[in-house]
Amino acid sequence: MAASSKADLLAITEKEFSKLRTLITPLEPQQALLKDDDETSIKDVIGHRAHWIDLFLGWYADGQAGKEVYFPARGYKWNELRRYNLELRQKQANLSWDEAVQELDAGYRNLAEFLETRSNAELYEGPMQGAKNNWTPGRWAEAAGASHFRSAAKYIRGRLRSL
């Protein structure tokens, strides 16, 4: 069930990040860079999660500034996420394992700071400006943070079992 308060959102975000961070900390670059059948690596998944935190923070900032918000990004529609994510993997191809982890850590810190500096009302009383839907900023933050951390951990556990 989705968080419905700032306190719950902070708690679930920290909990899911902590689980993911504990899971990836002992990984060696060789494990993290090994591609699966879909040509995706653990490093790719971590880089992806870090990137989506930045996307969310950008969406929020653009909406607050009254700018047009491009979901998921300029030139893409939601039904083109497969293409977007493939192009993101290509852009992040030279990202090292250490760099991907550093970006994830930085993204988490930025997200946590964002959440800590917003009131419950800012996070949950009304849709996010510019989003063109009814999701609150808190719901978007959970999707970009805790939910993505949880799905990354699930993918990584599966990959480690298959190795």
Query: Domain containing 135 — which CATH number?
Result: 1.20.120.450
Domain with 51 in it: 6-17+40-162
The answer as to whether 60 is a domain residue is: yes
Q: What's the mean pLDDT in 127-139?
A: 93
- DSSP summary character for residue 134: S
**Whole-prediction pTM value?**
0.94
The answer as to whether 83 is a domain residue is: yes
**In sequence order, what are the residues at sequence separation of 6 or more whose Cβ sits closer than 8 angstroms to the Cβ of residue 28?**
none
- DSSP summary character for residue 14: H
Q: What's the mean pLDDT in 143-156?
A: 98
The answer as to whether 121 is a domain residue is: yes
Q: How many domains are contained in the chain?
A: 1
The answer as to whether 144 is a domain residue is: yes
The answer as to whether 27 is a domain residue is: no
Instruction: Tell me the C-alpha distance between 140 and 162, whole Å.
Output: 32
- pLDDT interval class at 36 (50, 70, 90): very high
Per-residue pLDDT tens digits for 13-24: 999 999 999 999
The answer as to whether 135 is a domain residue is: yes
Between the alpha carbon of residue 68 and those of residues 60, 76, 79, 97, 133, the distances in Å are 11, 14, 19, 34, 14
Query: Is there a contact between 144 and 111 (Cβ–Cβ < 8 Å)?
Result: yes
- DSSP summary character for residue 43: H
The answer as to whether 123 is a domain residue is: yes
Computed over every residue of the chain, the mean pLDDT equals 96
What is the per-residue pLDDT for 24? 98
Percent of residues, the chain, with pLDDT higher than 90: 93
Amino acid (1-letter code) at residue 101? V
The answer as to whether 73 is a domain residue is: yes
Rg (CA), the chain: 16
